[in-house]
Chain A
Amino acid sequence: MSNNSESLQQEMAALRQLYHASLGEEVRTLLQHSSLAELEHLERQDLLRLRDIAHRLAGSALTFGYALVGQCLRDLEQLLDSTIAGQLRSVEAIRAAMEKVELATAAAVSIPDTAPDSAPLQPSVDTDELYVRRPENLHLYVLEDDPSTSEMLKLGLSSFGYRVTTFVDIKRLTAAALEDHPDGLIIDTEYSSFSDPNLASAANAMQENGMESIPILVVSQNAGFQEKLHAARHGVVAFLNKPVSIPALESSLEDVMQQQTRSPYRVLLIDDDTFSMERHRILLETWGLVARGLSDPAQVMTAIDEFKPDLMIIDLNMPQCSGIELATVIRYNKQWIHIPIVFLSGEQNTSRRLQALKTGGDDFIAKPVEERPFVSMILNRARRARQLAELMIRDSLTGLFKHTEIKDRLSHELARARRNKTSVSVAMLDIDKFKRINDTYGHQTGDTVIATLAHLLRRALRTTDIVGRYGGEEYMVVMPDSDEANAIRKLDMLRQEFETLIFHHREIEFTCSFSGGVCSASGSENIDLLIEKADLALYQAKADGRNRILGSSST
């Protein structure tokens, strides 16, 4: 990936150089007939042609980061536009605008290195702290000598998209880390008299080789204050207790690496000034967020419902209604209580600010906004809000949707299938003889089995399918645009994969299996009836000898 991004940078640089070299020539073409006498005699079609060139050049100049040149060209374009529309005809004004373009261009191309006045090509200025990374690009090293835990960590983290390499020996891990610079280390510690030699040796090796920026996370059993202090002194950024919950580990990784494992954060902007709204929207989108603007506050309910924002930014002063009034209206609706509201305003008066926060706003941003603090604050708030929302709807052991949430999603998918005239499949899965696993190997091992199947399901069904933990060892999978045969085929592949996984309890190795029942619908069916049918198929699968997937139409 580093090679790839390097060559990408090179291509970008080459392209920019090319543009830098041609900009002067392009602008000369635009300005070749720019004496006052010549401008006097321009026909309408000449004006149109000039306007088109100015427009085109303005677009590319801005894209390549020549902000001043772009702005001057845009001014010229507007002037030509109003001339064409017959609103004014001032040859002097056009001449002056052209001179500005000429000057700005001369200044831009006279700098030999391609150092544009601002660089929207890549948000590279001090961006380490903010840049949104995708987990596919993140490589984690795990030190874990227990094969079961190791397998679970690997499967669990890869279900969130990370690349994972596991080690049992710290020397191997360190040697490999020095070679290919992973993005993070996860170390299972075994403390004796308050210190862990593996952790100390890894941390020291990183430090001695200038790689202390690689975050180290620790998992540990029964750690007390002294152990944690030891970890803190070795620069450990997160400390998790065993048994490791993958969702908790993943959330720590997300914090540590400032990255985003799920969909991008969504921000709804409400501002009657479309220009400032667009500016903020573009700022946020440049940083990898998804932002939608709304200029009419009356539409806010529908917008929240459809867009499902993680955060809202509301202008405090709008002619239709004030931001405070709007926030009050939004807060009437308790289901949106968790969505933070940030006010945009030039308000300096502290008591008015307090008043605004009392009505349900969460923070203030002063206009005009500064890019870095603005984006940083919005990202952090959105991240925190998303985490809270996830806590509410996700099961802590597996990270899957909880019972009520998965049923909600199912009824949502049913409605959609009805609208789009497609089919949706619902599957109920249950781990075979789970009680015996629990009784034989203990609850902790039982939990590992439950979490492992959850990670397997999520990894394999990641894109459109929805997975929930329906009960103890029971899962519900909702598969949109999928008929029964299709759903059975997919689930049966997972069933085969799951039965080959080897679990460990101390020295004992064992395997597990699951059974499933599938029912498809076109959307008009009653949701409870549908679940019941899938459940019936599941019971039939159990009765037929377990470790199989049955469809309700064949039972």
Chain B
Amino acid sequence: MHVDDDDAIRAITRIALERVGGFELLSCSGGAQALDQVHRFAPQIILLDVMMPDMDGPTTLARLRQETDLGKVLAVFMTAKVQEQELARYRALGACDVIFKPFDPMSLSERLHAIWTQHNV
């Protein structure tokens, strides 16, 4: 499941994950849609943009956790910021990794595979 408010980023992420990576993807334009559809879609990985206008990534993740048992679902934030303390904050919020923007669409799926392997070993 990918949550991002930017149409263009969602489109390129769709190609990067569905076409390049062969993932099954649900693309959400915001936290509200994610909360609405998380049950039905039952994602294994949630990819969240950090800064979104209505509900930001960390809030969305916290709400998702309240709404449903995420269990082994991996949460990964996407952001442009690189300060160390922010990374620590994301980790504390339960994100298992952070992907920096801009990202390379051709290798995004491999990156997710690597994160997945790393956390399922």
**What residues of chain A have their CB less than 8 Å away from a CB belonging to chain B?**
8, 11-12, 15, 18-19, 22, 49, 52, 55-60, 62-64, 70, 74, 120-123, 264, 274-275, 278, 282, 285-286, 288, 290, 295, 416
Additional 14 contacts, C-beta under 8 A, given A59-B102, A63-B12, A122-B106: A15-B12, A18-B11, A52-B53, A56-B5, A59-B49, A60-B9, A62-B102, A63-B8, A63-B101, A70-B102, A120-B102, A122-B104, A288-B107, A290-B114
CB proximity of A160 to chain B, nearest CB, Å: 19
Indicate whether B41 reaches chain A with its CB closer than 8 angstroms. no
Closest B residue to A121 using CB positions:
B105
Complex contact A264–B15 (CB within 8 A): no
Residues of A within 8 A of B102 (CB): 59, 62-63, 70, 120
Indicate whether B23 reaches chain A with its CB closer than 8 angstroms. no
Tell which of A15, A120, A264 touches B114, judged by Cβ atoms closer than 8 Å: A264
Cα A60 to Cα B13 with chains together (Å) = 11
Complex contact B6–A60 (CB within 8 A): yes
Q: Mask for B1-26, Cβ within 8 A of A = 1, else 0?
A: 00001101101100100011000000
Complex contact A49–B53 (CB within 8 A): yes
Complex contact A274–B84 (CB within 8 A): yes
Pairs across A and B, CB under 8 Å, 12 listed:
A8-B19, A18-B11, A49-B53, A55-B51, A56-B5, A58-B80, A59-B49, A62-B101, A64-B8, A264-B114, A282-B100, A285-B111
Complex contact B107–A286 (CB within 8 A): yes
Indicate whether B36 reaches chain A with its CB closer than 8 angstroms. no
Complex contact A123–B104 (CB within 8 A): yes
CB proximity of A258 to chain B, nearest CB, Å: 16
Closest A residue to B53 using CB positions:
A52
Indicate whether B66 reaches chain A with its CB closer than 8 angstroms. no
Indicate whether B92 reaches chain A with its CB closer than 8 angstroms. no
CB proximity of A385 to chain B, nearest CB, Å: 19
Closest B residue to A59 using CB positions:
B101
Of residues 79 to 118 in B, which have CB atoms within 8 Å of A's CB atoms?
80, 82-84, 100-107, 110-111, 114
Residues of B within 8 A of A278 (CB): 82, 100
Residues of B within 8 A of A74 (CB): 80
Cα A264 to Cα B107 with chains together (Å) = 12
Complex contact A286–B104 (CB within 8 A): yes
Complex contact A8–B15 (CB within 8 A): yes
Known contacts A22-B8, A278-B100: A11-B19 contact under CB 8 Å: yes
Residues of B within 8 A of A288 (CB): 107, 110
Cα A52 to Cα B6 with chains together (Å) = 11
Complex contact B107–A64 (CB within 8 A): no
Tell which of A15, A49, A56, A275 touches B6, judged by Cβ atoms closer than 8 Å: A56
Residues of B within 8 A of A290 (CB): 114
Most chain A CB atoms below 10 A, which of B8, B49, B84: B8
Cα A7 to Cα B19 with chains together (Å) = 10
